[in-house]
């Protein structure tokens, strides 16, 4: 085997000294390897020439396999980079990817429905997440991991020990810190290529318009109807799509509310807040730990689809997930003509 490797090195060095193109040098080495493999197959076991060239054709097959895998990986990486760069006149071209980002997002870029342009759209997107609790925690993690360029998160709560059973973005050493700061640190540690904007304050109607106006998409994972209606009203007025989710015990639901594109707003589907006694909080009724992770991750997925234009989203459809019995239902939701929030808008 050493003899063959020396011959390969001599061929490559001689070709380099003579200015032979790399392609021609690779062809010469390939011819040499082909001859070695023929000898391995043609000569009997123990033949001196066979022993001098490796002794077993399977060894060369293994080496060629590793070389092929390495070459295939390089070729694939070049294709991914080419797709990420895209044509110079493509509509979404602000910003560029570093080698680290290309490697990080390669699985996205390889998807036909996302590609380089979809990943650029994610990088250029600005998403606001209202609430850094049960639903916000997984949504924030996956938005950051997906490469959403700017992520805002607003919440006035502090991390508590009782949160950690389900709000997995926070850790024990963060107890007592503002949730938005804890979440921001976790997101930046996960992906240093994204910008996180933490707002440690309560989301109220008087700041809703100015805050949401700076974002392309809003995710609402709050646990009270006052905030939900305030978020919805501002999104409907500004024409910003809203992905809203809710949880109770073993059940979760979510939809994409977007009256600017003919879909209902949140108030179309839920015109009146229910009596508080009928909708107890998680602290009062309990909630199974992984459920917020499931629904929050699905909210992030719907956000990625909305930004990239991939597949069919939940615009005009309400998805209900029953974790206890492993059932999922999707029902159509229509815009109400007499909606007090979105009638006459857009």
Asked if 38 and 60 count as a contact pair (C-beta separation under 8 A), the reply is: no
State in Å, rounded, how far the first CA of the chain is from the last one. 75
Q: Is 342 a catalytic residue?
A: no
Query: Which member of 235, 268, 282, 339 is catalytic?
Result: 282
CA distance 84 to 130: 31
Alpha-carbon distances of 92 from 98, 107, 218, 279, rounded to whole Å? 17, 20, 21, 43
192: Cα separation from own chain's centroid: 14
CA distance 120 to 103: 14
| Three-state secondary structure call for residue 62 | helix
- Point out which residues pair with 248 in neighbouring strands: 251
What dihedral angle (degrees, nearest 10) is formed by the CA atoms of 132, 318, 242, 236?
Answer: -140
Catalytic residues: 282
């Amino acid at each position: 085997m050493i003899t063959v490797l020396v011959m390969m090195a001599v061929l490559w060095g001689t070709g380099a000294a003579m200015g032979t193109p790399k392609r021609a040098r690779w062809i010469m080495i390939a011819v040499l390897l082909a001859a070695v493999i023929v000898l391995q197959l043609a000569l009997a076991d123990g033949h001196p020439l066979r022993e001098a060239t490796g002794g077993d054709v399977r060894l060369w097959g293994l080496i060629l396999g590793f070389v092929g895998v390495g070459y295939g990986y390089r070729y694939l990486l070049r294709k991914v980079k080419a797709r990420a760069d895209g044509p110079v006149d493509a509509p979404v071209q602000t910003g560029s990817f570093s080698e680290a980002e290309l490697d990080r997002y390669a699985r996205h870029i390889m998807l036909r429905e996302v590609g380089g342009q979809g990943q650029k759209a994610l990088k250029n997107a600005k998403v606001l997440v209202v609430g850094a609790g049960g639903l916000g925690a997984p949504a924030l993690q996956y938005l950051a991991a997906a490469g959403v360029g700017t992520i805002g998160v607003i919440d006035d709560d502090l991390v508590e020990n009782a949160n950690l059973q389900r709000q997995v973005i926070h850790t024990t050493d963060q107890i007592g810190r503002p949730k938005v700061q804890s979440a921001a640190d976790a997101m930046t540690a996960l992906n240093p290529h994204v910008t996180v904007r933490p707002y440690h304050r309560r989301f109220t109607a008087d700041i809703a318009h100015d805050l949401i106006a700076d974002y392309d998409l809003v995710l609402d994972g709050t646990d009270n109807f006052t905030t939900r209606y305030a978020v919805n009203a501002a999104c409907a007025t500004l024409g910003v799509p809203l992905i809203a989710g809710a949880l109770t015990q073993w059940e979760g639901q979510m939809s994409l509310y977007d009256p600017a594109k003919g879909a209902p707003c949140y108030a179309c589907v839920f015109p009146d807040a229910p009596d508080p006694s009928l909708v107890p909080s998680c602290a009062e009724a309990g909630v199974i730990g992984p459920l917020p992770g499931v629904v929050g991750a699905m909210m992030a997925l719907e956000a990625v689809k909305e930004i990239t234009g991939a597949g069919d989203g939940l615009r005009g459809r309400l998805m209900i997930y029953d974790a206890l019995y492993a059932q999922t239902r999707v029902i159509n939701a229509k815009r109400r003509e007499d909606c007090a929030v979105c009638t006459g808008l857009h």
